[in-house]
Structure 1
Amino acid sequence: MSTKPEICDIYKSPKKDEMYLYVRKTEGLTRVPEALLTMFGRPRHYVTLLLTPERKLARAEAPKVLAEIGEKGFYLQMPPAREDYMLDLFRPDESKYQQGGGE
């Protein structure tokens, strides 16, 4: 399991908020499976950085990201899980806007 520093390109998904692909800059997206790219959408370059095992990332552990890039050629960062009550705020539920009572 290699966790040597890598210069990484990070791509943002246009389809899913807070979904990112980390890849080696020298390889780009060449090792990312076509099915994943289809699901991900056309990758939008977000940032290039030197990723070291000690680097702090917001939603991933750098050693795990480096290991997966070494093994698979990419690391997919999924969006954070949403709480169920937060999802209810965005569901179109017409019943909550209707007045009760038999008019």
Structure 2
Amino acid sequence: MTRRLCEIFKSPRRDEMYLYVDRARGLADMPEALLERFGKPVPVTVLMLSEDKPLARAKASDVLAAIEAQGFYLQMPPARESYLLDLYRAPTEGRY
């Protein structure tokens, strides 16, 4: 079973966007383009991640494989349902 000590960062630019990295390697190997889009990483937590660890939006095995292959795992925000998008639009006319 693969286990890795991971540090998780959140993006100050986009809600619910997280970056998982190996704690020992840190952010040193992150591509510049990724960090420009992500913003200055804000530390959230450190987690011992194993393949059987349940995560909310990803399979732990996928996260571990991505960290092994590219040095990080980027968790994108969930897609918003179309009916929820109306909550983020400013009303153009009052309807009562």
Band the TM-score falls in, shorter-chain normalisation: over 0.9
Residue matched to 1:73: 71
**How does 1:1-103 map onto structure 2 within 5 Å?**
4-95=2-93, 97=94
The answer for unaligned runs of 5 or more in structure 2 is none
Identical residues among aligned pairs (%): 51
Matching residue's letter, 2:16: E
State the 1:93 CA deviation. 3.1
Matching residue's letter, 1:18: E
The answer for unaligned runs of 5 or more in structure 1 is none
Q: Quick one: distance in 2 between partners of 1:87 and 1:14?
A: 21
- Cα RMSD after superposing both structures: 1.4
**TM-score normalised by L of structure 1:** 0.88
Which has more radius of gyration?
1
Q: When the two structures are aligned, how many residues end up with a matched partner?
A: 96
